[in-house]
Chains A and B, each alone.
Chain A
Amino acid sequence: MKTYGSEPGAPEPVQVGISEFVVRGRDAEDTLKSYGLGSCLAVALWDPDSGIGGLAHVMLPDGDAADGADEKPGKYADTAIRAMLRRMVENGAAYTSVEAKIAGGSDMFEFESFGDGVGDRNTAAAKDELGKLGVPIIAEDTGGQRGRTVEFDTSTGTLTVRTADGDHGVVEL
């Protein structure tokens, strides 16, 4: 979701809506947040040396096979990861030191039409793309049957994952 006229230093987290990605530097005072991920997947990339990081809220696995991925790269796992990494490098991140954390990709429904599970497909696509690009996944909280809300702090690289399930609570990746 685009925000117009953000005031500097505003403590409100920046919302990263479905099919969007946002890149921030180490000095950013606001965090990046995606609410209520079900089968959608959050991909957080971070370069610990420059402190440049980004959060993508992807909806579908395969942009290379879809029309319109050029206009909305953030919608698909593969194109979102590539576009976000490119933006980070343009902003001064070192490609070789970028690390990934992923969260989401639940499968809450067992409908016939869902096949192997829509959440699993997103997680697999993100892992595949990160593998191709040589970006290591250093932490993940994926799958299961619960929704998640994630908040990414680019000043520390911490990805905080909250689940609606009381037993699971809050996890810091």
Chain B
Amino acid sequence: MKLDIKALGTFYEMAREGAGLAAGRLTRMTGVETRVGVTKLNFMRGSEIQKEFGDGTDKVGVRVELSGGIDGHSVIVFDRESALRVVSTLLDEAGDDFDDMSRSAVTEVGQIMNAGFIDGWADVLETGIDVETPEFVEGRTAMDFIGDLEEAPDADDFALLFQSKIEAVDTEIEFRHYLFPERESMAAVLDRHRDPNSIGIEYDKLAGFDEMAKQGAKEVASNITTLTGIETEVEVRKLNFASLEAIPEEIDDEMLVGVAHELDGNPSGYLLFLFDEGSAREVVEATVPSPPDDEFGDLGVSAIKELGNIMASGFIDGWANVLGTTIDHSPPEYIHDYGAAVIDPVVIQLGEDQEFAFVFDTVMRANDREFDCSIYAIPNQDDLERALNELDVEKVADAETKADVSIDELENA
């Protein structure tokens, strides 16, 4: 099974069409004004999905089995409070528990939305998709929602997830949507929509992607500790495939502080480290011996640039170790600006040659203080494809089993 940009673009189009129809139907049914937020394709290991579900909150969901144009399961997951809010738009008397009435109300809403997604996919694929009877699911962990699904990935396997955010305007209703396609069915769709002239990326090389993200984050964490003494861990690690214009839309509309680097080598691309203002102040305070009154004055700026530089070196070393290539990074360019504005120049430059991008999306967090750092690595698509195709996946697998030993070290052993 090969991944190819054109075929993934088709999947992306499915996700976007589906989210639009689902949002429109939610509005018609509940009267709640909705807006389609970001649509992404995620490649996630089972272990990461478990982490995402396991945030300690109660959830309810509605899932259906699909067959025909695509085989698999479509699952809508609401946090419990959101589901109760949805129920209250439909029933006059809604309590705090899920009785038969509210269960059936949520199931109906979930089903209408699932049907919206599925109709959108069928439109894009120009084929019919059959849907089984919806099931109501309640629980707190991934096991509760997808544990019994054959196509749900084991901890070390990957799933291609469609992830869409539909926001209710003025009302706090949050939910996530997942599509778990069966591997063979997904392979057939990918194959049908491929560009015959493209080499594509072998699906198994996704392990390389994941290892790049893992090694990059590991090196960054260790460099942060060396420079600032702040102990961090990786909170989120995802590989997204999205249209370029979706990337700035996803970033919070708040002031961000950070650094951007240009990458040159295999792959080329861009690498950004972004902090919210509070976290950036922490960085300055942790690195400057007598912190200035204005954290974002000259002293603060050079402290953040220095940290950016050292994080970039770590990240790039992590990638180069996995890929066995050489990658250089430019000196850091400091930014302190509106969220979307800090990333749109990069997106525009890449947009000259590509419509979509693989985005390595990582969030590092400290346990003992406010320190959130978002890392966006956006490689040039052709370079990335080439680098991954040259990657020896078995070597990556070997390196993984020998935890904490980089491939470089193995090769030099």
Contact = CB atoms under 8 A, between A and B. Distances in A.
Interface of A: 1-7, 10, 12, 15, 17-19, 35-40, 59-60, 68, 75, 106-114, 118-119, 122, 146-149, 164
A40 B348 CA distance: 8
Contacts of B49: none
Contact of A4 (B23, B264, B330, B345): B23
A2 B344 contact: no
The DSSP consensus for interface residues of chain A is: loop
A113 B245 contact: no
Contacts of A113: 262, 268, 349
B156 interface: no
Given A5-B27, A164-B336, A112 B342 contact: no
Contact of B330 (A3, A111, A119, A164): A111
Given A5-B31, A36-B339, A164 B348 contact: no
B32 interface: yes
Given A18-B344, A36-B248, A147-B341, A59 B351 contact: yes
Contact of A107 (B23, B335, B345, B355): B345
Contact of A147 (B330, B342, B347, B351): B342
Measured as residues with beta carbon below 8 angstroms from the partner, the interface class of chain B is 35 or more
A3, A10, A111, most chain B CB atoms within 10 A: A111
**B37, B170, B245, B268 interface centre (most CB from chain A within 10 Å):** B245
B340 interface: yes
B344 A37 contact: yes
A118 B35 CA distance: 30
B28 interface: yes
Contact of A39 (B28, B249, B268, B345): B345
A34 B351 CA distance: 19
Contacts of A110: 333
B273 to A, nearest CB: 14
Contacts of A147: 337-338, 340-342
Given A17-B245, A36-B248, A108-B333, 20 more contacts: A2-B23, A4-B35, A5-B34, A18-B249, A19-B245, A35-B338, A36-B337, A36-B338, A38-B341, A59-B244, A59-B245, A59-B348, A60-B352, A68-B355, A75-B245, A107-B345, A109-B260, A109-B333, A110-B333, A118-B348
